[in-house]
Every structure is written in structure tokens, then in C-alpha cells.
């Protein structure tokens, strides 16, 4: 999925640790979600550009396709 690769490339560029274990979802686990406002804004912009959304669940940040049940 091209959009998923774009999200991962952005996270790699920021040096963030993430998991792609679930198809279509990129997860930054709770111990790795200490982000600056600039990093968070960048992730929001990447999510918008790739039709993804950011969801916080139990301290983890998930980037998943917009309006997804994933």
C-alpha cells in the first residue's frame, strides 16, 4: 500500500520506533510517543496527505486509513 509506505518513510525520517505488524496500520507504542509539537504536526500533515488518521489508544499512536475499523 503506497500510502502506508509514505507514512513509514516519514516516521523513519524522524527516527521514530514503530510497528507495522497489523496490515494497514502503523503504530508508535506508548514508550515511543514522546513527540514534540513539530513532530506531531508533521505526522498530522502526513496523515492528511495520505488519507490516514491519527488515533491514540492506551498511550500508543496509530496511523491508519481514514474512517477505518482497523
pLDDT, average across residues 13-35:
88
Q: What are the distances in angstroms from CA 22 to CA 36, 38, 70?
A: 25, 26, 9
The pTM (predicted TM-score) of the whole model is: 0.80
Q: In whole angstroms, what is the distance from residue 54 CA to residue 56 CA? A: 7
Inter-residue contact 26 to 62 (CB < 8 Å): yes
Q: What domains lie within the chain, and their CATH numbers? A: 2-65 (3.90.1070)
φ, ψ of residue 65 to 5 degrees: the values are -55, 140
pLDDT at 64 over 80: yes
> So what's the pLDDT on residue 3?
59
Rounded mean pLDDT of the chain? 87
Amino acid at each position: 500500500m503506497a500510502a502506508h509506505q509514505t507514512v513509514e518513510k516519514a516516521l523513519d525520517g524522524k527516527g521514530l520506533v514503530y510497528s507495522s505488524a497489523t496490515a494497514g496500520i502503523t503504530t508508535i507504542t506508548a514508550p515511543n510517543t514522546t513527540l514534540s509539537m513539530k513532530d506531531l504536526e508533521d505526522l498530522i500533515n502526513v496523515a492528511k496527505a495520505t488519507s490516514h488518521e491519527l488515533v491514540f489508544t492506551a498511550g500508543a499512536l496509530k496511523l491508519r486509513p481514514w474512517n477505518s475499523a482497523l
